[in-house]
Amino acid sequence: MTAGEVKHAVADFKDEAGGWPVTRSSIEATGRIVTLRTDTVALPDGELVTREVVEHPGAVAIVALDEGDRVLMIRQYRHPAAATLWEIPAGLRDVDGEPLVETARRELLEEAGYQAADWRVLADYLSSPGISTERLRVFLARGLTVVPAEEREYVRHHEEAYLTVAWVPLDEAVRGILSGDLHNGVAMVGILSAFAARRSNFRALRQPGEPEDL
């Protein structure tokens, strides 16, 4: 093996949970959703380094796919990006003890007005592991039916009051990612995962209740 060459056995091709020792931790700021803390971390050689961490409750996201292989997309303004983005329905894990698939069901209904009969796990995703604890589970939802407006209890507010909904062919959504027209990270993960999983008719996907490995 030459210098700089990395060799992995197939058995090693899996992320591994477990943290290095933290010798000191302090909270720097707390917001409505996130908390900023500073950790002092001991490296394997004993060196101490300081790392800033954004604590985030995590989220779920949904690729809702109809019988014509169209994906349900929402268009929403995102202030930190100063942009209006095409996304997939998503929401915070903000109900203690709620199963993730139930959070996803709720978000699909609240943001898009749909319910789904069939749920699978597409991907478990760390949005920015170098700075944030945020983790997302991305679901595939099929067997979709619209819920009449009069049966929906949730009222959209703030940015959600202005979102729009559209059905986009899955292949077109993939082209939008590869052409640089789409920029939302979890939408990319979900759409590309669904595109790949379609090759096996989604048979390789996990059941919605399976735990996250990390």
In this predicted model, which residue has the larger pLDDT, 158 or 6? 158
**Residue 191, H or E segment:** helix 185-197
- Assign 111 a pLDDT band (cuts: 50, 70, 90): very high
CA distance 63 to 205: 13
Helices 170-178 + 185-197 axis angle, to 10: 130
Given 150, 160, 172, 212, the catalytic residue: 160
Terminal-residue alpha carbon distance, the chain: 31
Residue 7 is predicted with a pLDDT of: 63
Q: What is the pLDDT of residue 8?
A: 59
Q: Record the tokens describing residue 14, joined without a space.
A: 């899996």
Beta bridge partners of 83: 78
What pLDDT sits at residue 213? 85
Would you state the pLDDT for residue 118? 98
> pLDDT tens digits, residue range 46-104?
999 999 999 999 999 999 999 999 999 999 999 999 999 999 999 999 999 999 999 99
The string of pLDDT tens digits covering residues 21-60 is 999 999 999 999 999 999 999 999 999 999 999 999 999 9
The alpha-carbon radius of gyration of the chain (Å, integer) is 19
Q: What is the CATH number of domain 59-200?
A: 3.90.79.10
Record the pTM.
Answer: 0.92
Q: Can you give the pLDDT at residue 88?
A: 98
212 has catalytic annotation: no
Give the count of alpha carbons within 13 A of 132, CB side only: 14
| Phi, psi for residue 59 in degrees, rounded to 5 | -155, 170
Report the DSSP beta bridge partners of residue 65. 71
- Residues 112-165 have pLDDT tens digits of 999 999 999 999 999 999 999 999 999 999 999 999 987 887 788 888 888 999
Main-chain phi, psi angles of 93, to 5 degrees? -85, 80
State the pLDDT at residue 3: 55
CATH 3.90.79.10 boundaries in the chain: 59-200
d(C-alpha 136, C-alpha 126), whole Å: 6
Query: Cα–Cα distance between 60 and 142 in angstroms, integer?
Result: 16
For residue 185, what pLDDT is reported? Answer: 97
Bridge partners of residue 54, in order along the sequence? 36, 132
